[in-house]
C-alpha cells in the first residue's frame, strides 16, 4: 500500500499497443516504437512518438519487455526502441541485434543502476555497499521483477561481491508498483533500508536517496540511453527520420519529472508527453526544423 496522502497511478500500458498518433503527410512514414511497460520507458517512447508524429510520421507502439523487444528490433517487427542502455546495461541484448540495428541519438546520458539508502542515514554509518554488512538494516533489498532483470541480477551480484548474503541480505524482486509503495512507506516511517534503483526514475525526485559507492562496479558503470533503429527500416526511411531520431534528447532531469507526472500525478504517457512538448515547443520545433531540412535537400 502507498503511504497516506500518496496515490500511485501506474497506467495500463498494454492497452496502448494499437494506439496511433497519426501522421499529417501524403507520404507518411510508419514507425513502430518498442517501449517496455515501465513508466519511465513509456513516457520516453511517448515523447519520441509525439515528436515524430508532429514531423509527419504515423506512430504505433509495442509495449513489451526487453526479452521480446530486442528480437523484434533485430527482425524488423519493431522499427525503433527507446531506449537501449549502452555500453553496459543492455550489452547482452545489443550483441544479439547490433548487426541489424543502429544507434541513432542519445536520449539521456548518465543512466545508472545502483543501491541506495535514505538520506537520513548518515554517511558515517553507511556510505558504500560493503558498509551494509555491519549496519542494522532491513535485510530485504527490494528490486523490480518484470522488466527489471538487469537491475535485479546486478543487485544479486553485489550481494555476492560484497559479502552481504552471508550477512543475511536478500534481493526481493517485486512488481514496479509494489516496489514503489514499499519504498515510499519505508521512507515515510524512517526505517533503515536499502533499495535497488536506477536513474532516470521518479523516486529519485520523490524522496531523498543516497547512492552507495560501488568500487567493484557490481551494479555496472553509468550508461547512455540510445534511441536505436532497425537497419532495414532505416534503409527505407527518409533522411529526415534519421536526423530527427538523432536530434531528440531529453536528459535525466526531464525524464525523471515526466516519470513523476505519470506515477504520482496520474497522467497517461501520451498526455505527459503532449504537455512536455507544448511547454517546450521551441526546443521541439528546432529538432523538427533541423530534421526537415533533410526532407527538402
Average pLDDT over residues 72-101: 97
Give the per-residue pLDDT at 205: 92
- Record the cell numbers describing residue 64, joined without a space: 513489451
Average pLDDT over residues 72-94: 97
- Record the cell numbers describing residue 205, joined without a space: 525526485
From 212, 209, 138, select the one nearest 180 (Cα to Cα). 209
φ and ψ of 112, to 5 deg: -155, 145
- The answer to whether domain 13-110+223-296 and domain 112-211 are alike in fold is yes
Q: How many angstroms separate the CA atoms of 72 and 69, rounded? A: 5
pLDDT tens digits, one per residue of 108-151 = 999 999 999 999 999 999 999 999 999 999 999 999 987 788 99
Share of the chain above pLDDT 90, in %: 86
Q: What rounded mean pLDDT belongs to the chain?
A: 91
Q: How many angstroms separate the CA atoms of 230 and 122, rounded? A: 47
Whether the ω angle into residue 200 lies within 30 degrees of 0, i.e. cis, is yes
| Residue ranges covered by each domain of the chain | 13-110+223-296, 112-211
Average pLDDT over residues 77-106: 97
Q: How many angstroms separate the CA atoms of 48 and 142, rounded? A: 31
Distances from the Cα of 25 to the Cα of 28, 31, 273, angstroms: 5, 13, 21
**pLDDT value at 5 more than 90:** no
Q: What kind of architecture, by CATH, is found in domain 112-211? A: 3-Layer(aba) Sandwich (3.40)
Q: How many angstroms separate the CA atoms of 263 and 272, rounded? A: 11
pLDDT tens digits, one per residue of 11-21 = 555 433 333 33
pTM: 0.89
Give the per-residue pLDDT at 148: 82
pLDDT tens digits, one per residue of 246-293 = 999 999 999 999 999 999 999 999 999 999 999 999 999 999 999 988
Give the per-residue pLDDT at 293: 86
What dotted CATH number matches 13-110+223-296?
A: 3.40.190.10
Give the per-residue pLDDT at 120: 97
- Record the cell numbers describing residue 44, joined without a space: 520516453
**Higher pLDDT pick, 292 / 78:** 78
Amino acid at each position: 500500500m502507498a503511504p497516506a496522502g500518496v496515490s500511485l497511478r501506474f497506467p495500463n500500458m498494454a492497452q496502448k499497443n494499437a494506439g496511433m498518433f497519426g501522421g499529417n503527410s501524403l507520404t507518411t512514414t510508419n514507425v513502430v516504437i518498442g517501449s517496455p511497460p515501465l513508466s519511465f520507458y513509456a513516457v520516453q517512447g511517448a515523447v519520441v512518438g509525439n515528436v515524430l508524429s508532429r514531423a509527419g510520421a504515423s506512430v504505433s507502439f509495442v509495449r513489451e519487455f526487453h526479452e521480446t523487444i530486442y528480437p523484434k528490433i533485430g527482425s524488423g517487427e519493431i522499427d525503433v526502441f527507446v531506449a537501449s542502455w549502452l555500453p553496459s546495461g543492455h550489452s547482452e541484448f545489443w550483441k544479439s541485434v547490433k548487426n541489424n540495428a543502429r544507434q541513432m541519438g542519445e536520449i539521456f546520458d548518465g543512466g545508472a543502476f545502483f543501491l541506495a539508502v535514505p538520506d537520513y542515514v548518515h554517511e558515517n554509518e553507511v556510505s558504500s555497499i560493503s558498509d551494509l554488512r555491519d549496519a542494522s538494516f532491513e535485510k530485504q533489498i527490494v528490486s523490480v521483477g518484470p522488466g527489471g532483470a538487469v537491475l535485479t541480477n546486478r543487485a544479486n551480484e553485489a550481494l555476492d561481491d560484497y559479502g552481504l548474503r552471508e550477512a543475511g541480505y536478500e534481493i526481493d524482486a517485486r512488481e514496479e508498483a509494489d516496489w514503489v509503495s514499499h519504498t515510499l512507506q519505508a521512507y515515510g516511517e524512517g526505517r533503515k533500508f536499502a533499495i535497488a534503483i536506477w536513474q532516470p526514475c521518479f523516486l529519485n525526485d520523490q524522496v531523498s536517496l543516497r547512492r552507495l559507492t560501488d568500487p567493484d562496479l557490481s551494479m555496472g558503470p553509468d550508461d547512455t540511453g540510445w534511441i536505436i533503429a532497425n537497419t532495414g527500416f532505416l534503409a527505407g526511411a527518409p533522411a529526415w527520420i534519421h536526423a530527427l531520431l538523432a536530434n531528440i534528447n531529453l536528459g535525466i532531469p526531464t525524464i525523471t519529472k515526466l516519470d513523476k507526472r505519470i506515477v504520482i500525478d496520474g497522467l497517461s504517457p501520451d498526455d505527459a508527453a503532449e504537455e512536455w512538448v507544448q511547454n517546450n515547443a521551441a526546443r521541439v520545433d528546432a529538432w523538427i526544423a533541423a530534421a526537415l531540412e533533410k526532407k527538402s535537400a
